[in-house]
Amino acid sequence: MNNAQPEPGDWPSFLQRFQEGKMAWGSWYDHVKGWWEKKQLYPKLLYLHYEDLAEDMDREFDRVCSFLGVCPTEEERHQVKERVQFDAMKKNSMTNYSTVSVMDFKISPFMRKGKVGDWKNHFTVYQNEQFDAEYQKKMMNTTLRFRTEI
């Protein structure tokens, strides 16, 4: 759906290229590790994980407020929490990329489902084992940990 990127091909081929870092934007592993390392050096970076937000929005909202040094009113909290829900963001042209001309929404929306663990519907057991092995190898020297389920 992103016409600025090369044709992704079928899922197995895409996954293989992703694992090898042969993407238009480079290696996902290098990108994520690079920012994680910067976070260790610069306290003005905050890492948020979608799974944590889905699990406990109030806890993560409090983390963001603390990080920013703000104390919103109850009304402001309510408004923000309402607007950052996946379905609200999926409908919002300011967050869903629908105003970006290279995105072809006739092919698919930019934001799909927002369901934690949906990867299980796309990965075979073998692909998951391969991904886990590659992840362990490429992320071994970092303290960064991702959850893929709640």
Distance CA 50, CA 81 (A): 14
Of 112, 117, 132, the residue nearest 51 (C-alpha): 117
Q: What pTM was computed for the model?
A: 0.82
When pLDDT is averaged across residues 105-109 and rounded to a whole number, the result is: 89
Helix (H/G/I), strand (E/B), else coil: 130: helix
pLDDT in tens, 47-90: 899 999 999 999 999 999 999 999 999 999 999 999 999 999 99
pLDDT band at 7 (very low <50, low <70, confident <90, very high): confident
Of 100, 129, 113, 102, the residue nearest 3 (C-alpha): 102
Q: Quick one: tokens of 88?
A: 């609200």
Phi, psi of 5 (to 5 degrees): -105, 155
